[in-house]
Structure 1
Amino acid sequence: MTTPRDVPTRRVRLEAVGNQIPPLIALIVLWMLLWGEFSWLNLLVGIMVGIVVTVAFYLVPVQLSGRVHPLHTVVFFVRLILDIVRASIDVSWLAVKPRLVTSNAILEIRLRTRSDLILTWTAVATSIVPGSIVVDIDRESSILYLHVLNMNSAGDIESFRRRVLDTERRIVRGFGSREDVERMRGVRPANRRAARSNGKGQS
C-alpha cells in the first residue's frame, strides 16, 4: 500500500534516474566516436560501459534547459561543420608544409555562462574541431583549458579565444535556458565586436 510519504521519495528517485539519462547517452555517443564507426556490437558495449560508469561513479546531475530554438540550432550545427572542414584543411596543410615551425599553447578560456550543460557542450564542440583539445575543466569557475596547435602570436591566441566564445554564444542561443540567453543578451559576436573596435581605432 502506497502512503503519502512514499510519493515524494518515489518522485525523487525517478528524478535521480532521469538526471542520469543525459550523461548515459553522452557516454554512449562518446564511446561510438572513439571507435569511429557504427556497429550494433559497439552500441551494445557502449550501453553496457555507460551503465557501469553511471552506476559505479557519481555523475553530477545535468539540468536540461527545456528550450530549443530551431533556427539557432541549425546555425550552430552548420557553423560547427564549417569549422571542422576549415580546421581539417589547416591541420592537413601543417602536416605537409615544408619547413614547418609551429608553436603550440595551453590556453585558459573563461566562459560567460555557469551552466554545466553549456560548459560540456562547448568543450565537446571545441574538441571535435581539429587542432584543439580540452585538457582540463574548472567547473566551479567555468574555465576550459585547451591544448591548441599553431599559436604563433598574441593575435592567434585572441582569435582562437573569440572562436570558442562564439561557439558558446551559439550554443546558448540554440539550447540555453532563458536565464543563459538573458545573460548573453547584448554580447556581440566577437568578430563583429573586433571589427567595430578596429573601425573606431582608425577613425
Structure 2
Amino acid sequence: MTKKVKMDARVFGSRVFMTLWLAFAWTLLWGSFELGTILAGLGVAVIIMTVLPLPRVPVEGLLRPISTAWLIIMVGYYLVRSSVIVAWQSVRPAAPPESAVLRAPMRLKSDFTLALAVNSLNLMPGGIVVRVDPVARYVYIHVLDAGTDKAVESFYRQTGHVEQLFQRAFERPEDWRPHPGHYTAPADSGPGKTSPKNPGAAAGQEVSR
C-alpha cells in the first residue's frame, strides 16, 4: 500500500509539473505575466492535460532539487565552454580539427531521462548526437574535434559527467522504483570510435581521414 501511495504521488507530481510548465509556456507566448494571463494559461493547461493527454511515461525515479539545480548550472557552463572552444577553432590560424563519430555509454535507466540528456548534449556546440541505441544504452555523437587523444578524452570526460549529473538528479539508486516492464540494459562494453560515415560500426575502428 505504501509503495502504491508513493507511485501515485509521483504521478500526481509529474502532472502538476507539466501543467505548470504549459501555463508558463502560455505566458511566455503572450509576453505578459499579468494575473489574467497566468490564470488563462492554467486553464488551457488543464484542458490540454484532460482532453489531449500525452502518452503515459512511467515515473520511476525521484527529482532531487539541489542536484537538478547543479545539473542546470553545469550544463550552462558546458554550453558556454563549448561555444568558446568552437569559436576559437573557427578563427585560429591552424588547419580545421579532425572530426569523428564517437560512441559513448549513456547508462541512464529511464527513456525519459535519456531523452533529456541527449537533448542537453545536442545543445552543446562542437558535437551532435547522430544515433541513440536505446537497448544497449549508447549514444553516437559526431564530434567536431577528435583529432587528438586529449580531445577525445575531454569529450568522454564531459559526456560522462553529464550522465552522472542526470543520474544524481533523477535516478539515484535509493529513489529508483522500476516499472514492472522496465528493460535492463546489458553490461557496458565501453566507449568506442567509429567512422563518421558509419556510426554503427564496431568500437575501435579507425577514424576516416
* TM-score scaled by length of structure 1: 0.57
Correspondence for 2:132 among 123, 137, 146: 137
Residue in 1 that maps onto 2:162: 167
Deviation by residue 1:75-128 (Cα, 9 ceiling, x = unmatched): 111111111111111111111112333101101111223321221111111111
Relative contact order, higher structure (CA 8 A, sep 6+)? 2
- Find the aligned partners of 1:119 and 1:141 in 2 and give their Cα distance: 12
Residue 92 to residue 65, structure 1, CA distance change in 2 (3 Å): same
Unaligned runs of 5+ in 1: 1-14, 30-37, 41-50, 183-203
Question: 1:81 aligned to 2:83?
Answer: no
- Find the aligned partners of 1:154 and 1:114 in 2 and give their Cα distance: 29
- Find the aligned partners of 1:73 and 1:178 in 2 and give their Cα distance: 16
The residue identity in structure 2 corresponding to 1:155 is K
What is the alpha-carbon root mean square deviation over aligned residues? 3.3
- Find the aligned partners of 1:77 and 1:87 in 2 and give their Cα distance: 15
- Find the aligned partners of 1:147 and 1:180 in 2 and give their Cα distance: 33
Q: How big is the shift at 1:172? A: 1.2
How many residues end up aligned between the 2 structures? 140
Residue 141 to residue 93, structure 1, CA distance change in 2 (3 Å): same
1:40-51 alignment runs, 5 A limit = none
Residue in 1 that maps onto 2:104: 109
Question: Does the 8 Å contact 2:99/2:145 carry over to 1?
Answer: yes
Question: 1:146 aligned to 2:141?
Answer: yes
Question: Does the 8 Å contact 1:151/1:157 carry over to 2?
Answer: yes
- Find the aligned partners of 1:137 and 1:61 in 2 and give their Cα distance: 21
Residue in 2 that maps onto 1:90: 85
- Find the aligned partners of 2:133 and 2:143 in 1 and give their Cα distance: 18
Question: 1:65 aligned to 2:60?
Answer: yes
Higher helix share: 1
Question: Does the 8 Å contact 2:61/2:176 carry over to 1?
Answer: no
Question: Does the 8 Å contact 2:60/2:176 carry over to 1?
Answer: no
| Runs of at least 4 residues off by over 4 Å | 179-182
Q: How big is the shift at 1:179? A: 5.9
